[in-house]
Every structure is written in C-alpha cells, then in structure tokens.
Amino acid sequence: MTEHYVRLVELPRTVEGVTVPNDDGSFDIYINSLLSPQRRREVLEHELAHIRREHFYLDMPLRLMERQAEGEHVNVVLHPPEGYIPCFASEAALGRWLKNLCTQQHLDLSLLYK
C-alpha cells in the first residue's frame, strides 16, 4: 500500500474527507473531525479506495471515481486525453494501469514486452 498520512481537521459539514497526492508519491488524507468515529472510519476507507484505484492518475469523470470508491463496478476505458502523460507512483502502478488498459482493449499484455 502506498504511504499515506491521516489528519483529523474541522472541515465544512458538507466535506467529509479529502485526499491530496504529494510530490513524493505519498498521500495526505484529511477527515472531518466533526464526524462520528464510525463515519470517520467509513470516510477513511472511501479515501483509501481512491488511492488503491489510482484515481489521482486517471483522466476519468469524478462521478465515476466516486462510484468506484463506493465499491460499484464501473466500466471505463482508461485513455488519457491528447497531450496528457499519465504519472504513476510506482512501476507496479504503471503495470496495473497497462494491464487494465489491455483488458479493456482485449489486447494480449505480452505483446507489450516483445
């Protein structure tokens, strides 16, 4: 799992949690301190789902990212917009992205390594 730091801060009531990527590949997760302990755990798990699914490195509509973070299966094609170069926190993250892309395009991943 990617390194992350959780901070409890008082946020506006409409904001339950926010995750911010750092330059070193780690993440700061801010959880609203006004929430109940149970809701804080739920929000933390939601924010960690964004990190696991690498939402910070995809060009994908926010509404779809939120649905995925809630556990819903969402079919999307992972194509960066023209002129955009995706950035990955690690070689493993790049490998997962390529595997997903090949699966969606029905390509043999081994073709990439010839």
What is the distance, to the nearest Å, from the Cα of residue 52 to the centroid of all Cα atoms in its chain? Answer: 6
The total domain count for the chain is 1
Domain boundaries, position 13: 4-113
Query: Kind and range of the H or E element at 39?
Result: helix 37-52
Q: What is the pLDDT of residues 60-69, one digit of tens each?
A: 777 777 878 8
Q: What is the pLDDT of residues 51-105, one digit of tens each?
A: 888 777 766 777 777 878 887 776 655 555 566 666 666 677 777 777 776 776 6
**What is the model's pLDDT at position 88?**
65
